[in-house]
Amino acid sequence: MKNICLMLMLVFAAFSVNAQVLQTYIDTAFKNNIVLQQKNVSLEKAQYALKAAKGLFLPSVAFQAGYQTADGGRNIPLPLGDLLNPIYSTLNQITGANNFPRMENQTINFLPKNFHDAKVRTTVPIINTDIINNKRISEQQLTLKEFEVQIYKRDLVKEVKTAYYNYLSALAAVDVYKSGLQLVNEGLRVNQKLLENGKGLPAYVLRSQSEVESVRATLIDAEQKVNNARLYFNFLLNRNADDAIIVEKDDKNDLAKVQGLLATLDISGQREELKALNQVVSINKTVRKMNGQFAVPRLGAFLDLGTQSEGFKFNSNTRYYMLGLQLEIPIFSGNRNSNRIKESNLDLKNAELNANLVAQQLSLSAKTAQNNLRSAYQTYQSSQKQFEAASTYLRLIERGYLAGANSFVETIDARNQYTSAQILVNINLYKVLMAMANIERETASYTLN
Distance between CA atoms of 290 and 131, rounded to whole angstroms? 9
Please tell me whether residues 254 and 351 are part of one structural domain.
Answer: yes
Distance between CA atoms of 426 and 184, rounded to whole angstroms? 20
Please tell me whether residues 53 and 80 are part of one structural domain.
Answer: no
Predicted local confidence at residue 268, as pLDDT = 60
CATH no. for residue 437? 1.20.1600.10
What angle is formed at CA 395 by the lines to CA 393 and CA 401, rounded to 5 degrees? Answer: 95
Please tell me whether residues 224 and 195 are part of one structural domain.
Answer: yes
| 76 DSSP β-pair partners | 108
Please tell me whether residues 136 and 81 are part of one structural domain.
Answer: no
Torsion of CA 262, 423, 220, 1, to 10 degrees: 130
Instruction: Name the residue among 443, 2, 363, 339 with its Cα closest to residue 179.
Output: 2
Assigned domain for 320 exists: no
Predicted local confidence at residue 324, as pLDDT = 95
Please tell me whether residues 382 and 420 are part of one structural domain.
Answer: yes
Tens-digit pLDDT string for the chain (449 aa): 344 333 434 343 443 444 688 889 999 999 999 999 999 999 999 999 999 999 999 999 999 999 998 888 788 888 888 888 888 888 888 888 888 888 888 888 778 888 999 999 999 999 999 999 999 999 999 999 999 999 999 999 999 999 999 998 888 888 888 877 877 787 778 778 777 777 777 887 787 788 788 888 988 998 999 999 999 999 999 999 889 898 865 434 677 778 777 777 776 657 899 999 999 999 999 999 999 998 899 999 999 999 999 888 888 889 999 999 999 999 888 888 899 999 999 999 999 999 999 989 988 998 999 999 999 999 998 988 998 998 888 888 888 877 777 776 787 778 778 888 888 888 888 888 899 899 988 888 888 87
Residue 98: give the domain boundaries. 75-111
Assigned domain for 307 exists: no
Predicted local confidence at residue 248, as pLDDT = 66
Please tell me whether residues 356 and 375 are part of one structural domain.
Answer: yes
Residues in the chain: 449
Predicted local confidence at residue 53, as pLDDT = 93
Assigned domain for 168 exists: yes
Please tell me whether residues 185 and 90 are part of one structural domain.
Answer: no
Assigned domain for 119 exists: no
Q: How many domains, in total, are found in the chain?
A: 2
Please tell me whether residues 149 and 253 are part of one structural domain.
Answer: yes
Assigned domain for 234 exists: yes
Predicted local confidence at residue 152, as pLDDT = 94
Please tell me whether residues 79 and 156 are part of one structural domain.
Answer: no
Assigned domain for 427 exists: yes
Predicted local confidence at residue 172, as pLDDT = 84
Start-end of H helices in 79-128: 80-95
Please tell me whether residues 154 and 210 are part of one structural domain.
Answer: yes
Distance between CA atoms of 32 and 202, rounded to whole angstroms? 59
Assigned domain for 316 exists: no
Predicted local confidence at residue 413, as pLDDT = 78
Task: Return the CA Rg of the chain.
Answer: 43
Distance between CA atoms of 132 and 123, rounded to whole angstroms? 17
Please tell me whether residues 178 and 45 are part of one structural domain.
Answer: yes
Please tell me whether residues 64 and 82 are part of one structural domain.
Answer: no
Whole-prediction pTM: 0.78
